[in-house]
A and B are shown apart, each in its own frame.
Chain A
Amino acid sequence: MIYGLIPIMYLAINPMLNDSSTIIRALIVSSVPPLYLIFKNVTFKEYRVESLFLSTILFLYLIYWSLFQNQSYADFLFGAYGRGNGFLPLVGLYLLIIISAECFLRDNELFFRYTYAILSLSIIYGIFQAFGLDMFKYSGSNTGIRLTLGNANFASALLGIVSAIPLGKFFDNKSKNKPLHLVMYFLTLILIFQTDSSQGFVLWILTGLLFIYFRLVKSGRINFRKLLIINSSFLISLISILLVFKDSPRILNVWNSFQVEARYEHWLTGLRIWKDHAFFGVGIDNLNKYTGQYMSQNWSAELGGASVPDKSHNTVIDHFANGGTLVGILWVGIIVLISWYAIKIQINKKTSLENWKIQALGCMWFTYLLQTFISTDQILITFLGFLAAGGVIGVYHREYSKK
């Protein structure tokens, strides 16, 4: 039932508002999960470790705000910079993780069906936008299609994350329309190119790779340790080559198209802020108050001087800078835990779920996670990522840990 929110969240925009793509979504994620919990029975006991991590993060944000931070109540509750990353949406999103954990084994078909539905909608709407036939003004004056997210990077990332569904359907043994799903997977790639953003491309590639890895692991042809060694060696070699030849025009081109330097500057700024506010942080979604002071002068000048980022483009650094060291550690703890579960469920031989669903779920979680390491959170993407996280937790506790 909760998965019925997926298409609603995708379509929840209101062009009459100044902040057309966030407010209604923030309202939905803030109100539906508590409403659901009032009427439905959810046992938190099974997920007590995860609940403890998440509730402690919320508790610390609330205490730090009330005792140590000078932030207006509206900015604290909703967020100051039009992203809806304030306290209320965060409460709703964290509750969603637990609700999704509870519902996933029962309602997973709906999760995949609705996620596939938003991909199909994106393809149709994306074609309209690509031909300049968008009915909403906010996407008209910019290059790159934005779907209903109001930002080309986020649209690209969303497509990269949900591309796991058609690929999963393609690998589904019971699937009747395998070629159609493969076409959808490649149509997603074409649409990603229409966004003019490289994020989705990286996530699309990662989805493909993860699917291959998960299938190899499941079949027993390779284990995760070997995979980790192979991939780490490959990554280290790739980074070394990029660093050694960083002055060559081709490598510079790659560097620029992935905005490596800008991301690095964002991270550094966030880390500098955390260093000076290591105990209590600067407050939830409150980075922008400090970035103007902490960003390097050269980078600030490159951005025109008046442009001051409100995020560090890495949610781990954001949590450390916003909530201090303890909140940062708790956030790292929860994502490590979920990632561990996501790997564990891949090697579970006896499961009531079809293999492709477990694999697609793992892909969605890991691609969402990568997205949060290189970019900012967007409420719709976070919503999907957290539903996938809940799915992973649910499958692990119900099907893996009990064996």
Chain B
Amino acid sequence: MKASLRSLLAIYLLLSSYFFINVINFDYNVGEFLIQNNKSVQVTQSIFNGLPQYTPYSRSVIKAYNERLFPRNCDNYNYFADKLFEINNRNPQTHYFRAACKEISGDLPGAIVQMYQAHSYEKANPEYLLALSILYFNSNDYNASKKYFLKSKMINPNNKDLKILEELLGTKIDLQK
């Protein structure tokens, strides 16, 4: 085999080894966080500033969000939305965070646009349907709220938040019709 091909393979080998060292280091921290439940700053920082690898990164962000490891304010929402968008420009979580930021800023129409974008990437995700229903409810558009509420309920009837919304929506519109 030619020397030039051997040199090319040697460079390839060096680069891929360096890359895999990073992958293993990153994945070890993700395991610490997701499986071992180690929520230390060192671990979370190394993940959120680590490799742009979509699945482990987004799962870690979702866990951090669900467990309120970061304050739910626009700065954080936008930071993670941008990070996730960098890794995957069709990531629904990006739009979910942007919608959350717009909602707490009082921009409900803007929030609906963002949430609708998240919904367009995962059309049957009951969380996004429920969020759309809540946003429409808060915008006093009860017919639209009912439409997304019923879709969400059909897919995941056990969601606890549905019950609260059902009671509120029931005072505004007939849900049986």
Contacts and interface: CB of A to CB of B under 8 A. Distances in A.
Contacts of A301: 124, 154-155
Main secondary structure of the interface of B (DSSP, over half): helix
Given A292-B92, A301-B154, A38 B13 contact: yes
Given A37-B9, A301-B124, A306-B125, A72 B155 contact: no
A18 B30 contact: yes
B131 to A, nearest CB: 12
A224 interface: no
B6 to A, nearest CB: 5
Contacts of B10: 34, 38
Nearest to B58: A80
B27 A72 contact: no
14 contacts: A17-B24, A17-B27, A23-B24, A23-B27, A31-B16, A37-B6, A38-B10, A74-B51, A78-B20, A78-B23, A301-B155, A305-B122, A305-B124, A305-B127
B110 interface: no
Contact of B17 (A31, A73, A75, A289): A31
Contacts of B90: 289-290, 293
A322 interface: no
Nearest to B59: A18
Interface size class of B (residues with CB under 8 A): 35 or more
Contacts, number: 128
Contacts of A88: 16, 19-20
Given A17-B24, A293-B120, A75 B31 contact: no
Nearest to A285: B54
Contacts of A35: 13
Interface stretch (B81-89, B100-108, B141-149, B167-175): B81-89
A218 to B, nearest CB: 36
Given A23-B23, A88-B19, 10 more contacts: A16-B28, A18-B31, A19-B30, A34-B10, A37-B5, A37-B6, A88-B20, A300-B122, A301-B154, A304-B155
B123 interface: yes
Contact of B87 (A27, A75, A82): A75
Given A18-B30, A31-B13, A75 B122 contact: no
Contact of A41 (B1, B125, B127): B1
B128 to A, nearest CB: 8
A361 interface: no
Interface of B: 1, 5-6, 9-10, 12-13, 16-17, 19-20, 23-24, 27-28, 30-31, 34-35, 51-56, 86-92, 120-127, 129, 154-156
Interface in A44-95: 44, 70-75, 77-78, 80-82, 88, 91
Contacts of A27: 20, 23-24
A134 to B, nearest CB: 16
A43 B129 CA distance: 58
Contacts of B91: 289
Highest count of chain B CB atoms <10 Å: which of A75, A292, A304? A292
Contacts of A17: 24, 27-28, 31
Contacts of B88: 71-72, 75, 80, 289
Which of B1, B34, B89, B154 has the most chain A CB atoms inside 10 A of its CB? Answer: B1
Interface of A: 16-20, 23-24, 26-27, 30-31, 34-35, 37-38, 41-44, 70-75, 77-78, 80-82, 88, 91, 288-290, 292-293, 297, 300-301, 303-306, 308
Chain A binding surface, main DSSP class: helix
A88 B87 CA distance: 18
A47 to B, nearest CB: 13
B139 to A, nearest CB: 23
Contacts of B53: 72, 74-75, 78, 80
A38 B19 CA distance: 20
Contacts of B124: 297, 300-301, 303, 305
A10 B150 CA distance: 48
A59 to B, nearest CB: 14
Contact of A306 (B9, B31, B35, B127): B127
B20 A31 contact: yes
Contacts of B28: 16-18
Contacts of A75: 52-54, 87-88
Nearest to B51: A74
A293 B121 CA distance: 5
A44 B6 CA distance: 13
B27 A74 contact: no
Given A18-B56, A31-B16, A292 B121 contact: yes
A72 B52 contact: yes
B155 A305 contact: yes
A70 B89 contact: yes
B57 to A, nearest CB: 9
A289 to B, nearest CB: 5
